[in-house]
Chain A
Amino acid sequence: MRQRRPALAALFLLFAVSPAFAEEQPAPPVAPAPVAAPVPPPALPLSVRAFDTPNDGGGSVTIEWSLSPDDAAGRRGVTGYELLRGPSANGPWQSIGVASPGRTRYRDPAATDGHPLWYRVVVLGEAGRRAESVPAGPAVSAPQWFNADRFVVAVVTALLFGAILFYIARGRRGHAPYVRRIAGLDALEEAIGRATEMGRPILYIPGTQEMNDAQTVASMTILAHVARKAATYDTALLVPCKYSLVMATARETVREACLAAGRPDAYREENIYYVSEDQFGYVAGAAGTIVRERPATCIYVGTFFAESLVLAETGHAIGAIQIAGTAQPAQLPFFVAACDYTLIGEELFAASAYLSGEPRLLGSLKGQDAGKLLAMAFIVLGTLAATAASVSGSPALAVLAAGLRDIFLVR
């Protein structure tokens, strides 16, 4: 019934102000009040269309319209756009929401898949004025099997996976690639040996994030290596954990590493313990351990935030040899300033392959390099295209530059 209201209102206005109608009325006993000039309804948008929302899981229709001429810059004739939905071109119509002035798109998230729907855009004006568009449709929502917005990501992922697997296979055949020295990983042996010589424990902090964080996973691979060496040399390994799941995983990793080292008796469950999930509660606990136990070696590998410097400076104060590694760029300067060795970004993820020395795992690093080469090529081409577009004003070059930039945008 909603669509009839403006028509009734217009009819009422017509009768109220029509001179012909006034002539048919008996003469009023008093002088007629001055009649205000009628306010016209806002102008309708030039086009309205409704279509299935692309690249979604269904249940959604998108409505697009062009701006009402009264919604142009500097004009304030439109207060919003009301969206109506109906099962047929004749209604009945149901209001599904209001878009603010200036908007030309609305997503109806309550569409039923497979059912045709029609939409109308009502331009809302001052003083309750409204103008309804003709129905647009039918639009039928349906789920898609591939998100085309992520096509470029799929191609880049496939290329990257292909390169990594190719070099791993090459490594399996015995083609070990050259890998530059990573001082922080080379120093692990020295650091563990130092703790053994001094008869003091090693402190290992696996970051301050949960087990679903990639850096924590990478940290576990380094912990396995450290635990194997520590078990071999019979050196105590302390692992304070911020999360229970990290503690459980660290215990399993260290237990398996001790078994692999042939020293199951070296495993001490009580040395891998839960402290607190609160950031500074955890730091207080870990810093307290550093001060009380005075470990000879402190290793901080994983995700860190403000606690990085508190831990590293406390370790520095007791004279421990310190190795840190994180992929958090904001924390790297703190670790570089306070630690003896720092694994920067990707070095953290390369640790497992580097420490193993296995050609197949080292091959994966070569695959990463192929990815870097690809990224560098896109960056150089994009920079050249953007510069040339800026200098020459060529739209084609601008489109090329934007396309190259979009490759790195993940939607």
Chain B
Amino acid sequence: MKRTVPLVITFTVGALLIVAYFIPHWPFARLRDDFNTFFDVIAAFAYIVGGGNLIRMHGRRAARQEAGWGYSLVCLAGFLAMLAFGLTKVFWREGAPGWDLQGDLNDSTLLFKRGYDNIFRPCSATFYALLAFFIASASYRAFRARNVEATLLLVTALVILLGRTFVGTLMTGWLPPSLEFLSIPQLSNWIMSVPNQAGNRAIMIGVALGIVSLSLKVILGIDRSHLGEKD
């Protein structure tokens, strides 16, 4: 029963949505939107599950003073403070605090908005900025010319990098019009729009077929590995 019910629901909803894609007549036309709404409603309730899990996990870690409990304390404090600020809409105007339940959450005097703009966003941007260093370290490893394929990758990457900057134009700008197709910016564009695009499309066709196959197997209950059956 515990496995049959999910299988029946999956089959019914999956089959209906496939059919609805081809039928614009009522009620099929609305099914997709309706099921998306159902999903959003379930996901909204799941926020409570997620928030509850976060409080329980970090609360337990802080209470037991497990390794790294200080981080859990900061996480809990941030979560609860922002939750309280967001619900009560506490503001700080002209040197005095207050609260306005009808206030707009985008009001810059709200502590919720200030916390978001002045603490959360800089932290988020900092983490995103770290990506530049990670790209540098990963590129250093990937572009070492250890064999023919790696050398090809290195040369291609160099052409793309130079072609996307002024250096490429400076290096090959002197070429006559008849040989302009050999200029680094032109080569860079060609690599991106022909071999790269072809590779991307090949992957996308494979992915689309993979999604169709997986969906069909899950809808028909042929693949039940996500339900814990022997894989």
Give A contacts to B, CB under 8 Å.
Answer: 55-58, 143-147, 150, 153-154, 157, 160-161, 164-165, 168, 210, 212, 214, 217-218, 220-221, 224-225, 228, 243-245, 247-249, 252-253, 255-257, 259-260, 270, 273-275, 277-281, 283-284, 288, 292, 306, 309-310, 312-313, 327, 329, 332-334, 336-338, 344-346, 348-350, 352-353, 355-356, 360-361, 364-365, 367-368, 371-372, 375
Contact = CB atoms under 8 A, between A and B. Distances in A.
Contacts of A312: 138
Contacts of B130: 310
Contacts of A147: 22-24
B202 to A, nearest CB: 8
B151 to A, nearest CB: 15
B49 A248 contact: yes
A168 B43 contact: no
Contact of A161 (B42, B120, B216, B229): B216
Question: Which of B212, B218, B230 has the most chain A CB atoms inside 10 A of its CB?
Answer: B212
B138 to A, nearest CB: 4
Contact of A336 (B18, B142, B207, B222): B142
Nearest to B143: A337
Contacts of B174: none
A372 B53 contact: no
A334 B135 CA distance: 8
26 contacts: A57-B29, A143-B26, A164-B212, A168-B222, A218-B214, A245-B42, A252-B228, A256-B227, A260-B228, A310-B127, A310-B131, A329-B199, A345-B207, A346-B209, A349-B207, A349-B211, A349-B213, A352-B223, A352-B231, A360-B222, A361-B217, A364-B216, A368-B206, A368-B209, A368-B213, A372-B209
Counting from the closest, the 5 A-B pairs by CB-CB distance are: A256-B228, A349-B210, A244-B50, A244-B46, A346-B206
A225 B124 CA distance: 34
B26 A57 contact: yes
A221 B213 contact: no
A310 B46 contact: no
Contacts of A333: 142
A279 B128 CA distance: 10
Given A224-B226, A306-B131, A364-B213, A337 B141 contact: yes
A136 B71 CA distance: 72
B47 A244 contact: yes
B124 A280 contact: yes
Contact of A243 (B50, B131, B217): B50
Given A243-B50, A253-B226, 14 more contacts: A146-B22, A217-B218, A220-B226, A281-B124, A283-B127, A309-B131, A313-B137, A345-B203, A349-B210, A352-B225, A353-B217, A360-B222, A364-B222, A372-B206
Nearest to A218: B214
B210 A346 contact: yes
Contacts of B137: 313
A247 B49 contact: yes
Contacts of A165: 216
A244 B53 contact: yes
Interface residues of B, number: 64
B1 to A, nearest CB: 14
A354 B124 CA distance: 39
A356 B225 contact: yes
Given A145-B25, A313-B138, A217 B226 contact: yes
Given A57-B26, A217-B218, A210 B210 contact: no
B148 interface: no
B222 A361 contact: yes
Contacts of A349: 207, 210-211, 213-214
Given A225-B231, A259-B228, A310-B131, A368 B210 contact: yes
B138 A309 contact: yes
A256 to B, nearest CB: 2
A260 B229 contact: yes
Contacts of B211: 214, 327, 349
A218 B209 CA distance: 13
Contacts of B139: 337
B118 interface: no
Interface in B132-168: 134-135, 137-139, 141-142
B58 to A, nearest CB: 9
Given A270-B57, A327-B203, A346-B209, A150 B25 contact: no
A246 to B, nearest CB: 9
A334 B46 contact: no
Nearest to B35: A212
Nearest to B25: A143
A243 B46 contact: yes
B4 to A, nearest CB: 14
Contacts of A365: 213
Contact of B203 (A58, A260, A329, A336): A329
Contacts of A279: 124
B190 interface: no
A145 B222 CA distance: 30
B217 A224 contact: no
A82 to B, nearest CB: 29
Contacts of A253: 226-228
Contact of B200 (A224, A257, A270, A329): A329
